[in-house]
Amino acid sequence: MHRKWLVNRTNPEYIKYLSKNASISPVLAQIFINRGMKTPEEISYFLNPHLSQISDPFDIQGMSVAVARIMAASIKGEKVLVHGDYDVDGLSATAIVLKALKILGIDCHYFIPNRMEHGYGFNLSSVKNAKQTGAALIITVDCGITSFEAAARCKNEGIDVIITDHHEPIRSRKSEVGSQNEKPPSPPFAKGGLASLKIPSPSRGEGKGGAESLDNDFLVPDAIAVINPKISDSQSSISHLSGAGIAFKLAQALLMMQDTRYTMHDFLDLAALGTMADVVPLTGENRLIVKEGMKLIENGAGPGLNALKKVSGIEKRMLKPGLLSFTIIPRINAAGRISDSNNVVKLLLTDSEDEAIDISLWLDKLNSERQRIEEEVYQEALCKLNSKGAGPVIVLSSEGWHQGVIGIVASRLAEAFYRPAFVISIEGHIARGSARSIPSFNICKALAGCREFLVRFGGHKQAAGLELETRAITSFEECINKIGEEILTGKDFISSLEIDADVDFSDINFNLAKELEMLEPFGFGNSEPLLGAKRLEVLYPKIVKNNHLKMKLRQKNQSIDAIGFDMAAFFDRLNSTGSTAVDAVFTPSINEWEGSRYLQLNLKALRPSL
């Protein structure tokens, strides 16, 4: 795919100032400026994360009321049902809340919907399960922010609901929201009300949370409490928490109410797993959760995660978020995609090594089957696309496409053709789809513009799910493409490669490589830094392990080893053009092999020099 190379540049004098005052290299100073950190204080805060920086959970809107209701359930001996989701974020969040409730001695149960049988989200099937269980309280995790019908049914059935979610809420004109977001009456949680439970309150300077301050720009279900940082327009370090991150904050708040040997540290591995799996920025509190949680996953995880590492073949490797994204995370997701995810919760909470291995081996087999199904659907989708051609927005539909893989297929299409992609599976008169987008197209906002053709939809700016009647697919395709034509221009269909700094090889050394490691963990919102250099001489190029390109690159009198994973195709281009001078985009790293340490450039892109 053709990509634009964009090099970030800043006033050299300011780079020199920041480098000196923050005691970092000029290259790292440029990288921080690119990421919006322009003072020594901001840089120091980023480079030195500590658990002491974790925010007060009671600063989150709705937390005080939620904790009061849960503590009341503990006092009254009520049963509590945790309603989760079948992806890694939702399953991690479910395990976190169950673990916290068990510490409190609460009789707790969980319900993970089956994708094929129940569909997505908090719906009437969960209410039915709660009634059968005898639960007086339902806590949703990673879902529920648009579940108006299920919340209303719970109220009619006398079941209280606490919603914890991080998905986009429905915006509404204030006049339309009306009294639905007014301050709710204090529920009779326990004798003496909230004060008797010693819940932090704004008046005591112990937090700013509580449903009483709900922003009436949003329409939310009628629940005891709604915990979702997105129902506030204010931005903070917790604005982009994952579902597991919000569950972690709830667990943190509950532990503050109980004299227990457990601390929030005991939940960081699960919180990190869910955060890495969901596409949330690895900045602010997310960065802290993942950085600390990765240490536990690598060194001190429970039997479940240890078994997954063993089955995935990464038991003895240094773990980074990118590695988990290709090993542990897809194996967990496989259950929700093509089977049932309830055993995953058991895996994440079990103390039995034998049970952990058995479930992990099952997930490994499921993942292989998922890969086979995914490839079949992807190839069929490509055939359809080649036949009909691509508009501003890709919309493909067919009977029989497995609902568990259409999201991955949509992601692959969006990446390959660099435009929003909808992949829809038809079952009789109902069709369900998944969508993935590009940065310039807010897919949830676009879906709102097509709501007349949809039964329901929800998600994020870059990913969403939808349901519609089969007969409405053509009308929906016309509508979404019309919106695409209004929003997208030709330049939006060309991906860009943002280069943090243009460097000379003389800038690249072990100290710089170590500095760049301090920016980890890398992921969405905190991408691996990319450096660029021009007119490099290619020495000794060769293909290794079938598809990787290995060589030395030389500038002036300095040469550095380089490797480009899955870049073997460039080897043929080098030979066909006869040119050995290239421009390169790369990340410097320190490679260790057989007791030796040397610099290596991890190549991200190459092009012949002009």
Q: What is the maximum span of the chain, computed from C-alpha positions, in angstroms?
A: 83
Could you tell me which residues come within 8 angstroms of residue 103 by beta carbon, excluding any fewer than 6 positions away?
254, 255, 258, 260, 262
Element (DSSP H or E) covering residue 196:
helix 193-196
Residue 473 and residue 484: Cα distance in Å, rounded?
A: 16
Out of 142-146, 193-197, 274-278, 519-523, pick the least confident: 193-197
pLDDT digit string, tens, across residues 500-524 = 999 999 999 999 999 999 999 998 8
Q: What is the pLDDT of residue 535?
A: 94
Confidence grade of residue 176 (pLDDT, cut at 50, 70, 90) = very low
pLDDT tops 50 at residue 31: yes
- Provide the 3-class DSSP secondary structure of residue 121: coil
pLDDT the model gives residue 212: 36
Q: What are phi and psi of 285, to 5 degrees?
A: -70, -30
Give the model's pLDDT for residue 609: 87
Asked if the model's pLDDT at residue 203 lies above 90, the reply is no
Secondary element (H or E) of residue 515: helix 510-517
Question: Residue type at 135?
Answer: A
Omega of the bond prior to 608 within 30 degrees of 0, cis? Answer: no
Instruction: Look at residue 3 in the predicted model and tell me its pLDDT.
Output: 82
Res 184: pLDDT: 36
Mean residue pLDDT of the chain comes to 89
SS3 591: strand
Helix H or strand E encompassing 162: strand 160-164
Q: Are 385 and 358 in contact (CB under 8 A)?
A: no
* Span 251-264, average pLDDT: 90
Q: How many residues does the chain have?
A: 610
User: Tell me, what's the pLDDT at 205?
Assistant: 33
User: pTM for this structure?
Assistant: 0.86
CA distances from 35 to 135, 300, 553 (A): 47, 32, 28
Residue 198: the pLDDT is: 44
For 107-139, letters b (16+ CB in 10 Å) and e give ebbbbbbebeebbbbbbebbbebbeebebbbbb
Where does the pLDDT of residue 537 fall: very low under 50, low under 70, confident under 90, or very high at 90 and above? very high
Q: What is the pLDDT of residue 468?
A: 97
Q: Which residue has the tokens 């991906």?
A: 495
CATH of 497-608 given 2.102.10.10, 2.40.50.460, 3.40.50.170, 2.40.440.10? 2.40.50.460
Taking the C-alpha atoms of residue 562 and residue 585, their distance in angstroms, rounded to an integer, is 11
Which pLDDT score is estimated for 128?
A: 94
| Model confidence at 180: pLDDT above 60 | no
Report the percent of the chain where pLDDT is more than 70: 91
Residue 89 pLDDT > 60:
yes
Q: What is the pLDDT of residues 186-200, one digit of tens each?
A: 333 433 343 344 444
Q: What tens digit of pLDDT does each residue of 554-588 get?
A: 999 999 999 999 898 887 776 665 567 899 999 99
The arithmetic mean of pLDDT across residues 102-118, rounded, is: 93
Q: Kindly state the percentage of the chain with pLDDT values over 90.
A: 73
Lowest mean pLDDT among 355-364, 426-435, 456-465: 456-465
φ, ψ of residue 49 to 5 degrees: the values are: -70, 145
Whether the Cβ atoms of residue 82 and residue 141 lie closer than 8 Å to each other? yes
d(CA 140, CA 90): 9
In sign, the C-alpha dihedral spanning 349, 353, 355, 361 is: positive
Q: Which of 157-161, 360-364, 494-498, 589-593 comes out lowest in average pLDDT?
A: 589-593
On the question of pLDDT at 342 being above 80, the answer is: yes
Q: Tokens 């995953």 appear where?
A: 344
- Average pLDDT of the segment spanning 301-322: 88
Give residue 545's pLDDT: 85
Residues 6+ apart with CB under 8 A from 491: none
Residue ranges of domains in the chain: 56-262, 389-493, 497-608
Give the pLDDT band (50/70/90) at residue 170: confident
Domain 389-493 has CATH 3.10.310.30: yes
Confidence grade of residue 178 (pLDDT, cut at 50, 70, 90): very low
Closest listed residue to residue 423, CA positions, set 461, 480, 370, 369:
480
Q: Tokens for 162, please give them.
A: 């606490």
Fold classified for 56-262: inorganic pyrophosphatase (n-terminal core) (3.90.1640)
Confidence of residue 98 (pLDDT cuts 50, 70, 90): very high
Helix, strand, coil proportions of the chain in percent (round to 5)? 45, 20, 35
- Which pLDDT value is given to residue 320? 81
Tell me the H-state helices in 432-493.
Answer: 443-448, 473-487
| pLDDT of 355 strictly over 90 | yes
* Sequence-ordered strand ranges (E) for 472-595: 495-499, 501-502, 531-544, 548-555, 558-564, 581-593
- Among 65-74, 192-201, 540-549, the range with the most confident prediction by mean pLDDT is 65-74
Higher per-residue pLDDT: 579 or 120: 120
Packing angle between helix 328-338 and helix 342-349, nearest 10 degrees? 150
Judge whether 194 and 257 are in contact, CB under 8 Å. no
What pLDDT score was predicted for residue 188? 37
One-letter amino acid at 552 equals K
> Is 360 a residue whose pLDDT tops 60?
yes
pLDDT at 213: 37
φ and ψ at residue 322, rounded to 5 degrees: -60, -35
The rounded distance, in Å, linking the Cα atoms of 274 and 90 is 7
pLDDT of 317? 79
Query: Could you tell me the two tokens for 368?
Result: 């292989």
Give yes or no for a cis peptide into 521 (omega within 30° of 0). Answer: yes
At 564 the pLDDT is: 94
Nearest to 90 by CA among 273, 334, 360: 273
The pLDDT, as a whole number, for residue 135 is 97
Separation of alpha carbons 122 and 83, rounded Å: 7
